Structure 1
Amino acid sequence: MSTIDLAVIGGSGLYKFPGLQNAERLAVDTPYGAASGDVVLGDFAGKRLAFLARHGESHTLPPHRVNYRANLWALHSLGARRVIGVNAVGGIRSDMGPRVIVVPDQLIDYTHGRATSYCDVEGAEVKHIDFSEPYTESLRRPLLAAARAAGIAVIDGGCYGATQGPRLETRAEIARMKRDGCDLVGMTGMPEAALARELTLEYACLALVANFAAGCGDEAEISIEEIFAHLAAATAEVPRILAAMLKS
């Protein structure tokens, strides 16, 4: 098996990885059921990259129905040791508006009813992972440096609040999250980050702001069309950032 230098889990708007050469598709069996789709392996920026669309390549899986355990297990079983989760988010903090890119350093989990651990399986070893720092600093730092080297503005740090979805949040919910210290809101940040830690994977989040969260911008109502337009603009920068990181 060839070495995988980096694995990327694509969120909303990123269903195929642009610029991937010599691509091959692998359907990976896991003890936790089916992953969101095939893992696509290919060459990118002189390195070997694995890509998996979190919601499926046709966006058929809502956030609470994603098989996060199978996704991480599939990448790990293929030899991936570094994983970047690309996540579409809403901005709560005033400087985290549409099209801004953030590399968060903390998170709060508001999700419920999801399979959150590999320890849930009967007979599995119970692991009490240290999750004080949910993102791996040894991966966050190169990601930030790469964005800057590529001339792409990023914000270093911020707290990601993970909500259940697929609906967007109420103004009251966002106000609560702001009081809790959240700077961003998304629906797929957990349990992905915790599962990566259980597998001892290096894991970092590249958060793409698609809209201001409810009550945080000037809009009376959030437009889905505008969300995807902003998301497309931010997503276009992802290959440049990762190319710079792999070349460094």
Structure 2
Amino acid sequence: SLRQDYAPLDIVIPDQLFDRTRHREPEYTFFGGGLVAHVSFADPFCLNLNAILYQAARTVGATAHNGGTLVVIEGPAFSTKAESRINRQLGCDLVGMTAIPEAKLAREAEMGYAAIAMVTDYDAWHETHDVVTADMVVQNLLKNAETGKQILRAALPIADAQLHDCVCLHALENAIVTNPAVIPPATRAKLDLLVGKYLPLT
């Protein structure tokens, strides 16, 4: 956590991402090879799914926070004190090593994507708390594991009933900018599962 009020063992449903990774480039997109698509990513998490997860977290009695910016760092090392303080100054609320590229790939695949962030520590910025260690992270994750399962059990039936027409499911509808006539056949075949419904038959 990069905020005093997002305490260890709290649950946060983040609504924004800040990407500070550096070496994950090949996995950032499904596209290339003669097919260009630009999906909207202003809201990187599915807001409808976020609302369901937050309500589920409250229902099971978790101390839950709705919203927050998750800064994704490269890892595997934890942050320095300087990095942690700068991330706070930038307005980030949480720090982690996942959600990028998962969120981008999920959007390109027209899948609703959300995160249940389980706060394990105060990173390296907090003057009166120990700096983060792997043991601290694992211990608090284990404590929160059952809470996470309860949230999913409460959320999944609602999501199944309510998310059939979410905007995430149509993310590619106006995203493909390449003229279908010039898309290489091999690329078209490779990405058919994602884009086939948007491309005219050849």
Q: Same fold (TM over 0.5)?
A: yes
Query: Equivalent residues in 2 for 1:1-248 (5 A)?
Result: 91-114=1-24, 115-119=27-31, 121-123=32-34, 125-216=35-126, 218-248=128-158
TM-aligned CA deviation for residue 150 of structure 1: 1.7
Report which of the two has the higher share of helix.
Answer: 2
User: Could you state the TM-score of these two structures normalised by the residue count of structure 1?
Assistant: 0.60
User: Could you state the TM-score of these two structures normalised by the residue count of structure 2?
Assistant: 0.73
TM-aligned CA deviation for residue 109 of structure 1: 0.1
Structure 2 residues without counterparts, runs of 5 or longer: 159-202
Report which of the two has the higher share of strand.
Answer: 1
Contact 2:16 2:68 in 1 (8 A): yes
* Structure of larger gyration radius: 2
SS of equivalent residue, structure 1 residue 236: helix
Report the Cα distance in structure 2 between the residues aligned to 1:95 and 1:109, rounded to whole angstroms: 23
TM-aligned CA deviation for residue 181 of structure 1: 1.1
Moved over 4 A (4+): none
Structure 1 residues without counterparts, runs of 5 or longer: 1-90
| RMSD over aligned Cα atoms | 1.4
SS of equivalent residue, structure 2 residue 36: coil
Report the Cα distance in structure 1 between the residues aligned to 2:150 and 2:77, rounded to whole angstroms: 31
**CA deviation digits over 1:19-59, x for unaligned, max 9?**
xxxxxxxxxxxxxxxxxxxxxxxxxxxxxxxxxxxxxxxxx
Whichever residue aligns with residue 139 of structure 1, its letter is L
96 and 198 in structure 1: CA distance in 2 versus 1, 3 angstrom threshold: same
Identity over aligned residues, as a percent? 35
Number of positions where the alignment pairs a residue of Structure 1 with one of Structure 2: 156
TM-aligned CA deviation for residue 233 of structure 1: 1.0
TM-aligned CA deviation for residue 98 of structure 1: 1.2
Contact 2:123 2:131 in 1 (8 A): no
TM-aligned CA deviation for residue 224 of structure 1: 2.5
